[in-house]
Chains A and B, each alone.
Chain A
Amino acid sequence: MGDVVLEAKGLYKKFKKGEIHNSLRDLIPALVKGAVSGALGREEFWALRDVSFSVDKGEAFGIIGHNGAGKSTLLKHLCGILVPTRGELAVKGRLSALIEVGAGFHPDLTGRENIYLNGTILGMSRAEIRAKFDAIVAFSELEDFLDTPVKRYSSGMYARLGFAVAAHVEPDVLIVDEVLSVGDFLFQRKSVDKMRQVLRGGTTVVFVSHNLRAVAELCPRAMLLDHGRVAAMGDTGAVIKRYMERGAEEPTGEDKDAYIAEVTLADEAGREAVQVDGRARLRATVVVAARRRAERLAVVIECRDEELYDVFNTSTQRLGREAFTLEAGERFVVEFALRLHLVPGTYHFGVYLYRYDVQRNYDTRVPARTFYVRADADVRGVVDLEPEVVRHEKAT
């Protein structure tokens, strides 16, 4: 074990649920009402419960977990944005976070001006930025647009400039929250290369992502968060395996307000889909039940390949359906018609019960079903683009 640069000891964080009075207009009547009825209690919940871990110098450490598991909350503690209710947190050296690229960019300022603004916001001095300016510009590949206001940039250019600045901060501890997916493909490669280079340079990296493949590639060690608790820690492969199992082992969710009661995946003949054709039509039926009233729910489905890489996901919300509300004891059925375009392999079908407006995940079934696409198809890669050879001859 080398030097510990980041250490959390028994972190607890309490959040208050429910109504927050953020105007005097609301507060004063509430106080009066509270004084009359004698109660102003709000429901509290623990977003983090006894989270302890340490990261050594130069190590890449991954944090994974479902939506609402406390990943973002933990990150904000590491960055010093939130203060824990209980527990201690120690960071040695300069810490920088890539939580959102281009934080503080002003649309009316030019690329050049924003490099300075964003750089100082990320903790660099002006002299430091001046010294690295050419490197930042070269990395972003935006030499010709430096004096253009960033509001005229495409979203890809915007993200590239943001990442270029962030990549040059040279912190002792770098916190990354799923920003590797910025920009176009070529730039992504560059970003991953930069991450590896940062790691080789001895920087400690804490990587938070839903992208399990990226976590597995970059981090030898990882931690799984579940409902604010550390559910597993250690070798990334083992932690990811545990993450997958956890989704499956809680079919009825004893303490959940609403839960996924049943998931079936059937082929056109109505048989359970186990071995299917790569271009099969499937029907996914999800039954949701409520123990207590649950509002504005949506069903999210996903499909992951054998490396747990997310190949497909959507939700009732994204497909334009209104969020639904269930009273205690009620059930709700959602049926998705799917048309596969998959290459041969193993696929995991997952389901989430999610409330978008407050970003609460009620229940998770990952994998809810696992199926195999038969190897008789003649395509490889990620998707089946249904190729057909329509011309095959000598050109004249």
Chain B
Amino acid sequence: MLGLFRMLRRYRDLLYMLTLRDIKVKYKQSVMGILWAILMPLIITSAGVVVKVGLATVAGRPVIAAEIVGVAVKALPWAFFVASIRFATASLTANASLVTKIAFPRAVFPLSAVASQLFDLGVAAIVLIATLAFAPIPVTAAIAWAPVLLVVLIVQVCGFGLLLSAANLFFRDVKYIVEVVLTFAIFFTPVFYDAALFGKWGKVLLLNPVAPILEGLAACVAGGRSPDAGWTLYSAGWAAALLLVAPAVFQRLEPKFAESV
């Protein structure tokens, strides 16, 4: 793990340039340009709002503003999670020509893939914050939890990204499996709904390491409450475990990359 940080320091320029490459290429190739960054979260939020309104109508109660805001707050990190994992998984095979020709720590590929998605998250977050300024929600000190939760999420994404990119290098169908899992994960992750909706069974849902982060973000941004300490700690535990295991596994497999890609 320490090796990873030392590597990041030494190769920060490379990491920066690769991230910049991914961002530039993405926005140059599209007509919509920077709007891409908010399109995905916007679609997810819209879908979530439809679900919320639907549920409220069935239950015969009015839609609460905090619920709508909660969906938006969860949609952004979820879109970041999905895109980062997808992009990071394919990062080593997509850069195969570099992997077989130039020697530098291969971890820069999945990490820069995550970093370029982080840029999108940043753009979308600015738009969301600007919008939230007009929303009738209570802003409390609990909002200070939001950056902490985001850091936990980023660490998790980096960990999964490292592991999955290496797995996909050795077994090319890993990315299809990841794709399927990500597609259905929306059902097992409290993005459109709250875990509390399931009563006792909500806890099972929270075992998903991303779930407590999303719930926590909704609580501290839209609900004005602190996130649940126990579950947040659980997610942080995942992040810590990944931080210990993922770089070690990745570095262990690294010498085999060039022959196997």
Do A and B form a real pair? yes
Chain A residues within CB distance 8 Å of chain B: 15, 20-25, 27, 76, 79-83, 97, 99-100, 103-104, 106, 108-109, 113, 116-117, 120-126
Chain B residues lying within 8 Å of A113, measured Cβ to Cβ, are: 21, 24
Q: Are B102 and A97 neighbours in the complex by a CB distance under 8 Å?
A: yes
Q: Please, how many angstroms separate the alpha-carbon atoms of A20 and B98 in the complex?
A: 21
Given A25-B173, A27-B171, answer yes or no on A121-B13 (Cβ-Cβ < 8 Å).
no
Min Cβ gap B172→A in Å is: 5
- Extra 8 A-B pairs, beta carbons < 8 Å, given A106-B21, A109-B28: A81-B100, A83-B255, A99-B102, A100-B97, A108-B29, A123-B104, A124-B13, A125-B13
- B104 to A103, Cβ gap below 8 A? no
Nearest CB in chain A: distance from B8 CB, A: 14
Contacting pair A24 B16 (CB below 8 A)? no
Q: Which residues in window 113-143 of B have CB below 8 A to A?
A: none
Chain A residues whose C-beta falls within 8 Å of the C-beta of B258 in the assembled complex? 76, 81-82
Question: Would you give the shortest CB distance from B30 to chain A, in whole angstroms?
Answer: 11
**Which residue from A21, A116, A122, A126 sits with its C-beta under 8 Å from B102?**
A122
Partner pick for A120 among B14, B172, B173, CB 8 A cutoff: B14
A-B pair count, CB < 8 Å, reads 79
Residues of B within 8 Å of A126, CB to CB, are: 13, 16-17
Contacts of A123 in B (CB 8 A): 104
- Return the contact of A79 from the options B103, B177, B259 (Cβ within 8 A): B103
B24 vs chain A, min Cβ distance (A):
6
Q: How far apart are A389's CB and chain B's nearest CB, in angstroms?
A: 51
B169-188 interface bits toward A, Cβ cutoff 8 Å, 1 = contact, 0 = none: 01111100100000000000
- Considering the chains assembled together, what is the distance between the CA atoms of A81 and B260 in angstroms? 12
B21 touches A109 (CB 8 A): yes
Contact of B171 among A22, A106, A108 (CB under 8 A): A22
CB pair B259 A15 closer than 8 Å: yes
Q: Which of B28, B97, B171 contacts A23 (CB 8 A)?
A: B171
How distant is the Cα of A54 from the Cα of B245 in the complex, in angstroms? 38
A306 to B13, CA, bound (A): 49
Say yes or no: is B25 at the interface (Cβ < 8 Å to chain A). Answer: yes
Contacts of A117 in B (CB 8 A): 17-18, 20-21
B98, chain A: closest CB distance, angstroms: 5
Q: Are B172 and A22 in contact, CB atoms less than 8 angstroms apart?
A: yes
Q: Is the CB of A104 within 8 A of B98?
A: yes
B200 is an interface residue with CB less than 8 A from chain A: no
> Residues of A contacting B18 with CB < 8 Å?
117, 120
> Considering the chains assembled together, what is the distance between the CA atoms of A15 and B260 in angstroms?
11
Contact with A along B90-112 (1 / 0, CB 8 A): 00000101101111100000000
By beta carbon, the residue of chain B nearest A118 is B17
Question: Considering the chains assembled together, what is the distance between the CA atoms of A22 and B258 in angstroms?
Answer: 13
- Residues in A with CB closer than 8 Å to B177 are 24
Contact yes or no, A99 B172, CB < 8 A: no
With A76-B258, A125-B13 in contact, is A23–B103 under 8 Å at CB?
no
A100 CA to B258 CA in the complex, in Å?
15
Q: Smallest distance from the beta carbon of A11 to chain B beta carbons, Å? A: 14
> Which residue from chain A places its CB closest to the CB of B97 in the assembled complex?
A103
Which one of B17, B20, B28, B260 contacts A22 once the chains associate, using CB atoms below 8 Å? B260
The contact of A109 among B13, B25, B104, B172, by CB within 8 Å, is: B25
Nearest-Cβ distance from residue B259 to partner chain A, whole angstroms: 7
Which single residue of chain B is at the shortest CB-CB distance from A24?
Answer: B171
Q: Is the CB of A81 within 8 A of B14?
A: no
Q: Can you list 30 A-B contacts (CB < 8 A)?
A: A24-B173, A24-B177, A25-B173, A80-B103, A81-B100, A81-B101, A81-B102, A81-B258, A97-B101, A100-B97, A103-B97, A103-B101, A104-B97, A106-B21, A106-B25, A108-B24, A108-B28, A108-B29, A109-B25, A109-B28, A116-B17, A117-B17, A120-B17, A121-B14, A121-B102, A123-B104, A124-B13, A125-B13, A126-B16, A126-B17
Residues of chain A within 8 A of B13, CB atoms compared: 120, 124-126
Question: Lowest 7 A-B CB distances belong to which pairs?
Answer: A80-B103, A83-B255, A120-B17, A23-B173, A120-B14, A24-B171, A81-B258
Nearest-neighbour CB distance to chain A for B112, whole angstroms, equals 11
A119's nearest neighbour on chain B, judged by CB, is B17
B171 CB contacts on chain A under 8 angstroms: 21-24, 27
Kindly list chain A residues whose C-beta atoms are within 8 Å of the C-beta of B95. 104
Interchain CA distance A27-B172 in the complex, whole Å: 11
Asked whether B103 lies within 8 Å of A81 as measured between CB atoms, the reply is yes
Cβ contacts under 8 Å, A100 to chain B:
97, 101
Within 8 A of A (CB), among B244-261: 255, 258-260
> Inside 8 A of A103's CB, which chain B residues have their CB?
97-98, 101-102
| Chain A nearest CB, measured from B40 CB (Å) | 21
Whole-angstrom distance between the alpha carbons of A126 and B173 in the complex? 36
B101 touches which of A15, A20, A99 (Cβ 8 Å): A99
* A-chain residues with CB within 8 Å of residue B98 when the two chains form the complex: 103-104, 121
Q: What residues on B are CB-neighbors of A20 within 8 Å? A: 260
Bound complex: CA A257 to CA B172 (Å):
33
Q: Which of A20, A82, A109, A120 has the most CB of B within 10 A?
A: A120
- Given contacts A79-B102, A103-B97, A121-B98, whether A22 and B24 have CB atoms under 8 Å apart is no
Residues of B within 8 A of A99 (CB): 101-102
- Chain B residues near A76 (CB-CB < 8 A): 100, 258
Interfacial chain A residues near B29, Cβ < 8 Å: 108
Question: Nearest chain B CB to A28's CB is how many angstroms away?
Answer: 10
A108 to B104 CA separation, bound complex (whole angstroms): 24
Closest to A96 in B: B102
Interface centre among B20, B103, B173, B258 (most CB of A within 10 A): B103
